[in-house]
Each structure stands twice: as C-alpha cells, then as structure tokens.
Amino acid sequence: MRTQVGIIGAGPAGLMLSHLLHLQGIESVIIEKRTREEIEGTIKAGVLEQGVVDLMKETGVGERLMREGQFHKGIELRFNGKGHRIDMHELTGGKYVTVYAQHEVIKDLVEARLKAGGEIIFNVGDVSLHDLDTNSPKIRYRKDKNGDLQEIDCDFIVGADGFHGPSRPSIPASVRKEYQKIYPFGWLGILAEAPQSSAELIYANHERGFALVSTRTPEIQRLYLQVDLNDTIANWSDDRIWSELHARLETHDGFKLIEGTIFEKDIVWPRSYICDPMQYGRLFIAGDAAHTVPPTGAKGLNLAVADVQVLSRGLDAFYKSGKTDLLERYTETCLRRVWNSERFSWYMTSMLHRFHDTTPFEQQMQLAELNYVTSSRAAATSLSENYVGLPMEW
C-alpha cells in the first residue's frame, strides 16, 4: 500500500489529522490496534477548549457537538465547606467550557472519515516503523492481529498511538530527552446513572482529598475521588464511594449530591510526561504519544488536537510548495503550548490535592491560593484563560 501520510492510532489526534489532511487534498491511511467498537465505546473525559469546538464546527464535524454538547459558562472551586464560582464566560470575552465526551468526538471523526472514503484499518497487530531517516518511511503491521504481514510506504509517518505505542520508542534514545513527574495518588472515577447534582463542574479541595463532579449527559454523571497510590477498585464498594463523595463535597449551605446506579469504576494514575523532540526524520508524534498531563487541567484531548493542527499546516505547506520550515519547527511550536498546559495542570493539581507529605503549612498555602484565585479578578481571569484555552501560536 502507498499513501502520503501513514497514521498510527485512531484516537482524537490521528482521526483529526486525517480529517484535516483530507480537507487539504492530502491522502492518509490510519491503522488502529483496536476495533471500531472498542474505540467508540471507551468512555473518557471530554472537556473541550473553545478552539477545539471552533475547529470542529469550521471543518464540518461539529453538528452533533453543537446539538448534544453541554456548554458551561464557569466552574466551581469548593473548599472550607463553601463553593466559589468562576464565571469563565464573562472573564474570557464569551468563551465556554464545553463538555462532550472523547468517544463522541471519535464517533464524529470516524463517521466523517469513512463517509469521505478515508481508510481506517482496525484490529491490527505487530506494528513497527522503518526507514524513518529516509524519504520513504514504512509501517509494517499484521492485519487482524495475527494475519499476514502488510506494509505501507509513506512520505511521512505520524505516531498518534498513545503513551504505550511503538512510535515514540522508534525515536532513538540518544536523541530523546524525556521529562516526567509521577503524582503520588490515583483518581478513582465512576460513571453513574443519575440526574445532575450541579449545572457546572465542581473541583473540591478537602482534608480527605480531592473530588470532582463532572458530567457526560443529563442522565450520566462522571465523578472522581483522589485515592491512595496503591489502592484498588476492590477496596471501594458503591456505598463507600458515595459516602466519601458526600463527605468531600458537603457545604455549609446543604449541597446535596444525587446518588444513582454506578455502572463503571476505574482508577487512573496521573502523570506529567514530555518527549523532546516530537519528531525524527520523517516521523512526527502527537497527542499522548508525545506528552501526557494530569487530568486536573482537562488538557489531554485539547493538546492532541493542537498538535495535529500545527502538523497539518506544515504538511500542507510541504505538498503545496515544498517548503519544510513549518515541519522543522513542529516540535518547537507544539512544546510551547505543551509546557504551558503542563504548568497549568500542575498548578491545578497542586492547589487541589492532598499529597502524602503535605504539611499543615502547605495546606494553608493551598487554601490561601484558593482564596486568592476566587477573590481576585486578575487571578480568576488567568485561570479562566488557561482553562478555556489560550490562542494557538503558529
């Protein structure tokens, strides 16, 4: 098989890139280790920056988002038994916090690609990358996991295959500089059939640990609890989860969390990770393959889309004029935004969580920061601008 751009991974980064390239008249093929049912059924967080919403609308894949997404004007920071709302819509000149689950974004992009005749090869195995430092790199894989070995000849390869995929390790270790921070706690997340307890997201700092009230649909709620680093789902019965959520979210004015039927539980372990460079020869990596952020700042999917916006512009310039300057600056351009998002996610995480070695002094510093950001217009504006998404720098 021959294509201009071979893409590994049918997550938001890979699918959005293929969609943008199609609109520019550039051919691509996506390979994905999971089935279509698996990628469309894996439920993940979905808080979209205004720029991502605008891009989906502008490129023709935003119709269902605009119909079914939830557009919030702010968030609430809760501490010392009291809620403090930050009006991000007003502070950012009319931008929204948009809640639209990641698997819904994937559904929209898969449908658009297949409708346009794009090729997505699902359920592949044994993916490997070859000849990256030549003008004709190759992707090899096995069709249907254990089937015959296949090869795709490309002009460029894009690794959008997540943190554990084969793309990043294909950049020689001698070239890669890696930055990482492992946070000393987990996030226990649940999906529950229940009415909304809050019209907007709630981020709670509590002496027992962090809690988050989010949502997926008016009928499906997503909630999180900070848990011990070595904790397991087996330790958390439904009753214990609801009891802990009530304790961490209670307020002096009698806030009532509405319980429901929990139908999914999982624990994730937040980390910050950055690979520099995000390119090697004719290979470019994007999204979680290149960087991960703790979920506190809601930046993962948004950074993935920002990466491929930069890359699509560079590839468009290459095929139209032969110019490579945008591609050569891909890492530099993307990492400016990545590091800022890492900073913001670290800030939110540090302000809201209890660390195993948090001293009484540090607890008071957290509360002082929360008091400041909820009482100072300048501080609230800074938080809001970062949360809804800063303008893209090209």
- What CATH number does the domain containing 391 carry? 3.30.9.10
Q: Do 243 and 176 belong together in one domain?
A: no
Q: Say which CATH number the domain at 336 has.
A: 3.50.50.60
pLDDT for residue 276: 98
| Burial track 327-342 (b if 16+ CB lie within 10 A, e otherwise) | beebbebbbebbeebb
Q: Are 366 and 203 in contact (CB under 8 A)?
A: no
Q: Do 263 and 220 belong together in one domain?
A: yes
- The single-letter code of the amino acid at 163 is F
pLDDT for residue 280: 98
pLDDT for residue 21: 98
pLDDT at 121 over 60: yes
Supply 381's token pair.
């504006």
Per-residue pLDDT of 286-327, as tens digits, reads: 999 999 999 999 999 999 999 999 999 999 999 999 999 999
Which of 72, 70, 100 lies closest to 87, judged by CA? 72
pLDDT for residue 277: 98
Q: Do 32 and 77 belong together in one domain?
A: no
Q: Do 158 and 12 belong together in one domain?
A: yes
pLDDT for residue 392: 78
Give percent above pLDDT 70 in the chain. Answer: 99
Q: Do 256 and 212 belong together in one domain?
A: yes
Q: Can you state the percent helix, strand and coil of the chain, rounding each to 5? A: 40, 25, 35
Q: Do 195 and 259 belong together in one domain?
A: yes
DSSP H helical segments within 116-237, as ranges?
none
Q: Do 15 and 150 belong together in one domain?
A: yes
Is 264 a member of any domain? yes
pLDDT for residue 260: 97
Q: Do 342 and 223 belong together in one domain?
A: no
Domain count, the chain: 2
Q: Do 36 and 87 belong together in one domain?
A: no
Residues 139-160, mean pLDDT to the nearest whole number: 95
Average model confidence (pLDDT) for the chain? Answer: 96
Residue owning tokens 């004719």: 282
Cβ burial, residue 284 (10 Å; 0-12/13-18/19+): buried
Supply 215's token pair.
């949502």
Q: Measured between alpha carbons, how far is residue 15 from residues 104, 125, 150, 152 in Å?
A: 12, 19, 21, 18
pLDDT for residue 88: 98
Is 59 a member of any domain? no
Is 63 a member of any domain? no
Domain that holds residue 305: 5-46+101-181+272-353
Is 112 a member of any domain? yes
pLDDT for residue 146: 86
pLDDT band at residue 111, thresholds of 50, 70 and 90?
Answer: very high
Is 237 a member of any domain? yes
pLDDT for residue 44: 78
pLDDT band at residue 264, thresholds of 50, 70 and 90?
Answer: very high
Q: Do 161 and 239 belong together in one domain?
A: no
pLDDT at 218 over 90: no
pLDDT for residue 43: 77
Residues 87-111, mean pLDDT to the nearest whole number: 96
Is 56 a member of any domain? no
Is 283 a member of any domain? yes
Residues 85-95, mean pLDDT to the nearest whole number: 98
In whole angstroms, what is the distance from residue 226 CA to residue 224 CA? 7
Lowest mean pLDDT among 201-205, 338-342, 354-358, 372-376: 354-358
DSSP per position, 223-247 = EEEEE-TT--GGG--HHHHHHHHHH
Active site residues: 72, 203, 295, 299, 387
pLDDT band at residue 394, thresholds of 50, 70 and 90?
Answer: low
CA angle 56, 67, 90 (to 5 degrees): 75
Residue owning tokens 């110019």: 323
Q: Measured between alpha carbons, how far is residue 67 from residues 71, 92, 218 in Å?
A: 10, 23, 13
Q: Measured between alpha carbons, how far is residue 146 from residues 103, 126, 127, 141 in Å?
A: 27, 8, 11, 9
Is 288 a member of any domain? yes
Residues 45-72, mean pLDDT to the nearest whole number: 95
Q: Do 140 and 232 belong together in one domain?
A: no
Q: Do 256 and 132 belong together in one domain?
A: no
